[in-house]
Structure 1
């Protein structure tokens, strides 16, 4: 099963279930996974705890082998039913604590913690002062210290924390404060508001011009290539913006196998954007599932067998999209509250001529930075 919210007033991720369905069409057209047909169930998580719990209960009722490549901010609601049934959660988007603490969760990225801490590192050499606009939520409350842990990697500076309502239509007051606090020169305004990040920067763009020279920044998931295209490409407010991601930039050749599958098996589905980090995470998560099933060499695939193979150290090569993934105890970073974190590398990107490109080659390890955050 793959679940994600769709049609809600907050963050929507319809591309993740759509990518799962395209992946299934691809592998089944080529004989399945080790001879097994891949059958996909999808569920609209609705961005509510009730919706997440309902999806998890359906996964249990349907006896799925795994929940793969999914998005939810409601970890408490979905993880408990999966644990009772012994169903592994592979490659969640990384928005909840449970994804990095449950013994049945197998994350493929460093989640929000790695992005925010990495973003602080990216900004440390670029910005004299930083304003952070973030959701006024439990999850958002963790962002300032994570960003500051990255900023402190190169200086003693800390960001100005500006909480904001997650689903507001406009953010004029927060935009004015953020620009003012960033200072007149070499300041940066960072907004991490999910789908509402565009609303914030629309408000920021409408501020009366003054003598402030600031650059804007964010993380993938809040800003992506589709948003840059939609807001004017090289003429967009995002031109020159700094962005931190989990994976290589969307134009990297390592995404070519995924792009080929999308072209051949989801060509008419505009939900499947190869530059969407949710779609990318689902692709990587199903790459993990495929490797695990191939390692089983069995006629019957069950949740118990999948979880056991992961626990026993099956190694997954993702074609360079992440470091090799493995979930043994010795592979985990062991951060308090995030003991299951195995991939603590991020990429630094920048918008140049309307395209998100690498600011520097390769991955940046943020493990020590995440570990130092309170």
Structure 2
């Protein structure tokens, strides 16, 4: 057997073995020895194989990151060990993952997704474990003193989306989850729309795990009107299902494009556009607000290189996926904080203390520089821990998400103005 074929076979076997344990419960990624310093154990969780939003790429990206840094001797000589857990989109699942992190002596939870903030933050806070770079979907991520968000969460996305729509849409219908976290979205969207003295958006709650949305789609289109009307949906993984129902409305089939559609990153991203037809996707021409630069931006090149070399055949690790991108940024924060501590043993307290004292993190242009000192916090009610309140305005052109306008847009004042 040639060396090339043997290497490929070993890569495949390694990936299959680690993948088998990834989100079926909780797994751990062993890595190369990082030297004489003590290993560092962290956890990344996300829901998988549920009826609502799934984010399997986040734990998969965490494992890819660990393989990369361990191949270079670890982080400042520390082997990085990654625990993974299926959060199951449930309070019980989130609490179980958090308790597992405590039992396994994780020093941080990094780059994870959960809507069940109250369920997971209480165990972490009791053990003093910091939560770095969660996806930004749970309000507790922006209120807990042990949470260090890398983006402005759904609050910044939706407030920014209102600003993006304000110049193009005279009437807006918002379809959003009928959940506690979804209840805040109309106020946030309206805060952005007010920048152009718009009326309030029509609020249309919907079940997060519905198999079809014909009734909500018809109502959204009717209330948005015709030309200069916009329908925006923020339903996570079910956004694609909603717009499929929207596209199938009888009048919409006859006169497609009379109402413009829009959404935010995570509900619509490049993988969704690719799956639904690329240039022929129903999302062609849609407005999308994101946290980070568009997927084709050169600032993502270091992440793409790591994925290419260390994700092997794991197709969950898509560089265009918002969860994968957030996990990369979160682990970048972890790496730089551990390097700044420069100790033989790393504890949860050392990590949170380094972040609290003002360690400034450069993410290579993917976000503004991040720092979590008191004066850096936005302080918006319900979102006090936001330090990155910048978003990007994007649009789908010829099947690709591209920048509608260059650079970042600061939405801090807009979030602060939300009721």
Same fold (TM over 0.5): yes
Determine whether 1:92 maps to 2:148: no
Q: 1:105 maps to what in 2? A: 147
Matches within 5 A, 1:314-353: 314-353=359-398
Q: 1:294 maps to what in 2? A: 339
Deviation at 1:371, TM superposition (A): 0.2
Gaps of 5+ in 1: none
Give the Cα–Cα distance (whole angstroms) in 2 for the partners of residues 2 and 228 of structure 1: 26
Select 1:12's aligned residue among 54, 59, 71: 54
Give the Cα–Cα distance (whole angstroms) in 1 for the partners of residues 56 and 129 of structure 2: 23
Deviation at 1:216, TM superposition (A): 0.3
Select 2:104's aligned residue among 49, 58, 62: 62
Give the Cα–Cα distance (whole angstroms) in 2 for the partners of residues 15 and 39 of structure 1: 17
Give the Cα–Cα distance (whole angstroms) in 2 for the partners of residues 167 and 103 of structure 1: 32
Structure 1 residues 95-134: Cα deviation after superposition (integer angstroms, max 9, x where no partner):
1111000010000000010000000000000111111111
Structure 1 residues 208-252: Cα deviation after superposition (integer angstroms, max 9, x where no partner):
135571110000100111111111111111000000000000111
Q: 2:409 maps to what in 1? A: 364
Gaps of 5+ in 2: 1-42
Give the Cα–Cα distance (whole angstroms) in 1 for the partners of residues 208 and 122 of structure 2: 26
Determine whether 1:264 maps to 2:309: yes
Deviation at 1:138, TM superposition (A): 0.9
Give the Cα–Cα distance (whole angstroms) in 2 for the partners of residues 337 and 127 of structure 1: 28
Matches within 5 A, 1:1-374: 1-209=43-251, 213-374=258-419
Give the Cα–Cα distance (whole angstroms) in 1 for the partners of residues 140 and 260 of structure 2: 34
Deviation at 1:267, TM superposition (A): 3.0
Moved more, 210-219 or 50-59: 210-219
Structure 1 residues 255-309: Cα deviation after superposition (integer angstroms, max 9, x where no partner):
0000000000003101111011100000000000001000001100010111110
Give the Cα–Cα distance (whole angstroms) in 1 for the partners of residues 179 and 90 of structure 2: 14
Give the Cα–Cα distance (whole angstroms) in 1 for the partners of residues 109 and 276 of structure 2: 34
Where 1:348 maps in the other structure, the secondary structure is strand
Give the Cα–Cα distance (whole angstroms) in 1 for the partners of residues 404 and 118 of structure 2: 36
Deviation at 1:184, TM superposition (A): 1.6
Deviation at 1:165, TM superposition (A): 1.1
Where 1:127 maps in the other structure, the secondary structure is coil
Give the Cα–Cα distance (whole angstroms) in 1 for the partners of residues 272 and 368 of structure 2: 27
Give the Cα–Cα distance (whole angstroms) in 2 for the partners of residues 162 and 337 of structure 1: 22
Instruction: From the CA coordinates, give the structure whose radius of gyration is larger.
Output: 2
Give the Cα–Cα distance (whole angstroms) in 2 for the partners of residues 365 and 74 of structure 1: 27
The number of residue pairs the alignment matches comes to: 374
After superposition, the CA RMSD in angstroms is: 0.9
Give the Cα–Cα distance (whole angstroms) in 1 for the partners of residues 199 and 286 of structure 2: 20
Give the Cα–Cα distance (whole angstroms) in 1 for the partners of residues 77 and 207 of structure 2: 49
Which contiguous aligned blocks of 4+ residues in structure 1 show a shift greater than 4 angstroms? none
